[in-house]
Amino acid sequence: MSQENPVSGSGANDPPVERQHLSSRLGLRQNWWQFTLFTFITLLIGMTIGVERVALPPLARHAFGVTSVLYTVSFITAFGLVKSIMNLVAGRLSDRRGRKAILLAGWAFAVPYALIIIFATAWWQVIVANLFLGVNQALTWTMSVTAKIDLVGPVNRGLAVGVDESAGYVGVGVGGFLAGLLVTSYGLRPTPYLLALGVVVIGVIVTLGPAKETLPFAQSEVVSRPTGKERLAAPKLTRLGAYMSWHDRSMLAVCQAGFVNKFADSLVAAFFPLYLLGKGVPLAEVGLLVGLYAWVWGLGQVASGALADRVGRKLPITLGTFLIAVGLAIFVSSNNHGVWIVAVILMGLGMALSYPNLITTVGDTADPRWRGGALGVYRLWRDGGYAIGPLLLGVVAVLAGVATAIWVGAGLVGLSGLILLAMFKETEPKRRKTELAWKTHPEWVAP
């Protein structure tokens, strides 16, 4: 089986010699060109969502007359609900159909998103557009990170995920910054969304052209691991969901941390612009603060992923979670622009330490045969925070103000850090002191 051929099915019948050949080629150095292409694709994915973070919140008020905080942030709930569900679907399908086909389908969903917003005459239409964006982000980003994990294998997995997330959130920062400039110069519509369409076109060209299928690399990794009773076919989705969400307490801690992590990110995406605009801060500066947060987050993840390969996952994940809480508290407790910069930098650092390494822990623990599905379950929980967070914090904002909603978010993130301290056990292979839960209890992931 060549690297270039698309793959369908489980790969169980692949010739052993060819699978062993691919297994010997796992690694970042061996696959640097494909890894680079998928990193560029992730940058484009981030730019697509970055446009929305700056251009959409002011659109609610200035184009549609929406003044309700809860109604304004509803676009994130719509986005998060669909994205979380489609993460699960994408991960499962990619284990059977390959990564590239799902990635291409994801790009297709970004086109109606941009067009609907350009021609929208009511805010509910913008919310519908965000359903398409949620599918786009779920399919594309899930596939881009899974492809990188496929290529590198078990060595330097943290670095690989760090590079992926770094590229994505640098893209978010670039997209947000460019959208702020376009809105300032040309208005809220259509130029920011024409930018998004241009990014999609480039993404399709790269995906259709030089980017190759990576599922054979995941399948080849199976031959490099022990065989026997632990070699399991992919479990049913319900069993996999129960295993990730309850049976494995470390994965439970990881899933809740990802869930609450998105509470914090939704504050930056929707509540920070409203909070700052309410204080008379110019839109260009709002874009700069949101962009700075994303850039620190993005650029820091390469070092964070490499650090986790050396010191383990628990320290950076837990420390990062507490830094996010501290950054939120500092941000809302001051009216000073310099302090706001410090706060968003702290939040960006916290995200850089925790965000990619939460994904890496799933790669550490999941069997390659059901890695895509396991990543899908985690991302279902994580992006479910986008669906629940804006609603919960929006209700708080309506009852007690945006500042109070940010304080509540800070408290929830701090509580999440305490749960990590208590429940999460190290998953980095060389530092793991306990057997993987699914190996000790194979019935939990039985087909």
User: What are 436's two structure tokens?
Assistant: 């993987």
Q: Is the pLDDT of residue 16 over 70?
A: no
Burial of residue 395 (number of CB atoms within 10 Å: 0-12, 13-18, 19+): middle
Stretch among 113-117, 228-232, 438-442 having the lowest mean pLDDT? 228-232
Q: What is the pLDDT of residues 344-359, one digit of tens each?
A: 999 999 999 999 999 9
What Å distances lie between residue 383 and 19, 86, 392, CA to CA? 34, 10, 15
Mean pLDDT of 45-61: 83
Ranking 59-73, 77-91, 364-378 by mean pLDDT, the lowest is: 59-73
Quote the pLDDT of residue 445: 87
Residue with the two structure tokens 């500066």: 285
Q: What is the number of residues in the chain?
A: 447
Could you tell me if 336 and 281 are in contact, meaning their C-beta atoms sit under 8 angstroms apart? Answer: no
Mean pLDDT, the chain, rounded, equals 86
Nearest-angstrom CA–CA distance, 124 and 186:
24
Which tokens in the block code for residue 34? 């494909």
Q: What is the DSSP string of 183-236?
A: HHHH-SSSHHHHHHHHHHHHHHHHHHTT----HHHHHHHGGGS--STT--PPPP
Rounded distance between C-alpha atoms, residue 55 and residue 185, angstroms: 12
| Cβ-contact 165, 359 below 8 angstroms | yes
Is 446 or 127 the better-scoring residue by pLDDT? 127
pLDDT of residue 37: 94
Which of 57-61, 257-261, 309-313 has the lowest average pLDDT? 57-61
Whole-number Å distance between alpha carbons of 252 and 206:
36
Lowest mean pLDDT among 163-177, 323-337, 426-440: 163-177
Confidence of residue 434 (pLDDT cuts 50, 70, 90): confident
pLDDT at residue number 223: 54
Q: Is the pLDDT of residue 225 over 60?
A: no
> How do residues 137-161 score in pLDDT, each as one tens digit?
999 988 998 899 889 887 777 888 8
Whether the Cβ atoms of residue 369 and residue 95 lie closer than 8 Å to each other:
yes
> Which range among 51-65, 133-147, 360-374 shows the weakest confidence by mean pLDDT?
51-65
The amino acid that residue 214 corresponds to is T
Buried b (16+ CB within 10 A) or exposed e, 194-203: ebbbebbeeb
Q: How far is Cα 390 from Cα 8, in angstroms, rounded to an integer?
A: 38
* pLDDT reading at 326 higher than 90: yes
pLDDT value of position 7: 38
The whole-number average pLDDT for the span 197-219 is 91
Q: How confident is the model at residue 18 (pLDDT cuts 50, 70, 90)?
A: very low
Would the pTM of this model clear 0.75, i.e. be above it? yes
Tokens representing 278 are 């309410």
Between CA 258 and CA 238 the distance in angstroms is 20
pLDDT of residue 222: 65
